[in-house]
Amino acid sequence: MRVLLSIKPEHVENIFNGDKIYEFRRRVFVRRDVRSAVVYSTSPVGKIVGEFDISEILCASPDELWKKTASGSGITRQYYDAYFAGRARAFALAIGAVRRYEVAVAPRDLLASFRPPQSYMYVDDGVGVDWLYKNQGELF
């Protein structure tokens, strides 16, 4: 199983250039069989640009999680603290292998009613860039 994640463009770039090896989340998916993430780069890009494997899901208090992930966070402590303000638990997806698509996919070209998820949405394992082009409109 995969998830589609909405991620800000600056973080997307840091993921694909290797500066960001943790993707932080306030909440994480319930299903435990999720092994990879399809990356939707939010506005102004607005496209599905690649995917990455999830090698581990970390959960801890925000302070403890920062201690474990700071060196691969790709963000400042100030940004991190603002993101997790008021939260007792914080999550980090440890990013494994990354795959940037040669051609980014505009999901609204495939499905006019596409709405980017606030956090995540489940997608089938077979969903990848080749699948997207062959099965237009069946992704969501």
- Residue ranges covered by each domain of the chain: 2-134
For 51-108, write each residue's pLDDT tens digit: 999 999 999 999 999 999 999 999 999 999 999 999 999 999 999 999 999 889 888 8
Token representation of residue 65: 């999680």
Structure letter (DSSP) for residue 136: T
Identity of residue 40:
Y
Give the pairing of strands 47-60 and 36-41. Answer: antiparallel
pTM, whole model, 2 decimals? Answer: 0.87
Q: How many CB atoms lie within 10 A of CB 72?
A: 15
d(CA 59, CA 16) in angstroms, rounded, equals: 23
For 110-121, write each residue's pLDDT tens digit: 767 888 888 898
Please report the sign of the dihedral spanned by the C-alpha atoms of residue 16, residue 50, residue 46, residue 5.
negative
Q: Was domain 2-134 assigned CATH 3.60.70.12?
A: no
Tell whether the model's pLDDT for residue 133 goes beyond 70: no
Please report the sign of the dihedral spanned by the C-alpha atoms of residue 10, residue 15, residue 18, residue 22.
positive
d(CA 124, CA 37) in angstroms, rounded, equals: 11
d(CA 98, CA 104) in angstroms, rounded, equals: 14
